[in-house]
Amino acid sequence: MSVFVDQSTKVIVQGLTGSQGKFHGLRNKAYGTQVVGGVTPGKGGQDVEGVPVFDSCEDAVRQTGANASFVAVPPKAAPDAILQAAAAGIPFVVCITEGIPAQDEARVFNVLLRDYPGTRLLGPNCPGIISPGKCNIGITPGEIAEPGGPVGIVSRSGTLTYQALYELKQKGIGVTTCVGIGGDPVPGTSFIDCLQAFEADPDTKAVIMFGEIGGSAEEEAAEFIAKEMSKPVVAYVAGVTAPPGKKMGHAGAIISGSKGTAQAKMDALRAAGVQVGLNPTEAGDLMAEVVKSL
């Protein structure tokens, strides 16, 4: 099985007529994802290489039965695009947009929580999600992902998401689903959300988790793992050498005082029984050993 998306997922691309939406949306389609439509206000009736374009998410859902959306629009338009997808009844929204102000992210997060509890947002500023061989929504290269199982992946970092996938593929280890949650301060989907889904998925037997400096998400995940996870977890935390007070790559990757350091996160994860690698390749090696023992 897989979590959140599979071969039955029907995707619309908000921003399909733009350069990024077209490039990645058509790549997702070429991978085998059911990309059933695009949404660009004012361009309804057009098509992008055979994919119909609609004026609104509501129109797209009514005519295609879409149950997922891929938001690939600029930062100014992205918050409203997410809420429009939720208002149309779409249960799963992936937003790759980088540069959305934190206050806008917080507003969208809370509006979804209050008014659209049936909609899950992945992102913003994330690579998306791939259930290898079944569905790919976002910018993850499908060719680096080995289908099958028994490993689930969740990562804050986009490039480390790709490395986790490829480290496992090189070892012949399949992945049920790989979720890139993004590195912004207010992600729509958390480590805990993904760990919970993997714990409930019978085909996911182990989980690899890639974190980074900043915030407390990894410590919260460690607490959840200690209390709720029966499956083995391997982790890597980026940013051991990052200086305090400097933003490192992601908007959420900033150490404040003694909080949010890589060492504190690694200590919390180890205390929860997680095997922690000192680099991504070591994490992959640790997972290979875990898979042998399953």
pLDDT in tens, 28-68: 999 999 999 999 999 999 999 999 999 999 999 999 999 99
Residue type, 44: G
Residue 61: per-residue pLDDT: 98
Q: What is the pTM of this model?
A: 0.95
Whether omega before 124 lies within 30 degrees of 0, making that bond cis, reads yes
Residue 60: per-residue pLDDT: 98
pLDDT in tens, 177-204: 999 999 898 999 999 999 999 999 999 9
Question: Helix %, strand %, coil % for the chain, to 5?
Answer: 35, 25, 40
For the residues 83-106, what does the mean pLDDT come to? Answer: 97
For the residues 145-151, what does the mean pLDDT come to? Answer: 96
pLDDT reading at 115 higher than 80: yes
Domain 10-122 and domain 141-293 have a common topology: yes
| Helical residues (DSSP H) of the chain, grouped into ranges | 19-31, 57-64, 78-87, 102-115, 158-170, 191-200, 217-228, 262-271, 280-293
Q: Architecture of 141-293 per CATH? A: 3-Layer(aba) Sandwich (3.40)
pLDDT reading at 244 higher than 70: no
Instruction: List, in order, residues 6 or more apart from 196 with CB less than 8 Å away.
Output: 224, 228
* Domains in the chain: boundaries: 10-122, 141-293
Please give the positions annotated as active site: 250
pLDDT reading at 101 higher than 70: yes
251 pLDDT band, cuts 50/70/90, is low
CATH superfamily, with its number, for domain 10-122: NAD(P)-binding Rossmann-like Domain (3.40.50.720)
The tokens describing 226, both together, are 């200690």
Which of 212, 260, 252, 208 is closest to 229 using CA atoms? 208
